[in-house]
Amino acid sequence: MNITSSLLKTVFAFIFLFAFAITNTKAQSTINTSADFGSARSRIDSIDKQLIKLIGERERIVQAIGVYKAKNNIPPLQPARFQQVVNEAKKNGASEGLSPEFIEELMNAIHKESLRIEDEAKKSK
């Protein structure tokens, strides 16, 4: 098993566990009081913090992949792989009621940061 597939398996396992944790906590469907409102905002803040941590974990893996790519003369940009990632994200986003446009923008932003990190990894090779 090469480093890339090992890291990808780790990422997918982490994402699965995170998704499981998120989906097994029921969101409150109605807000009737200021306490409900405050609780909902606190929940959003908590989820936002978890999202940032998850993206940080993803980018640390990207950094390791960037080092591997640099050592093995693999170009940072892999258009076919990125399209595969975007297509899968759109499919997963649709099941969560998210628009394909939003998912594409989100994945493009993450990919832009990933390329920046891979470029830094290449320079520090």
Reported as a single tens digit per residue, the pLDDT across 22-60 is 555 556 679 999 999 999 999 999 999 999 999 999 999
Burial status of residue 68 (CB atoms within 10 A of its CB: 0-12, 13-18, 19 or more): middle
Q: In the prediction, which pLDDT does 1 show?
A: 38
Check if the beta carbon of residue 55 is closer than 8 Å to that of residue 112: no
- If you average pLDDT over residues 9-32, what whole number do you get? 60
- Rounded Cα distance, 102 and 98, in Å: 7
* pTM of the complete model: 0.72
Mean pLDDT of all residues in 53-80 = 94
pLDDT of residue 13: 52
The pLDDT, as a whole number, for residue 18 is 57
Contact by Cβ (8 Å): 62, 114: yes
- Domains of the chain by residue range: 3-123
Q: Which pLDDT does position 2 carry in this prediction?
A: 47
**pLDDT score, position 121:** 82
CATH number belonging to the domain at 3-123, selected among 1.20.59.10, 3.20.20.70, 1.10.1060.10, 3.40.50.720? 1.20.59.10
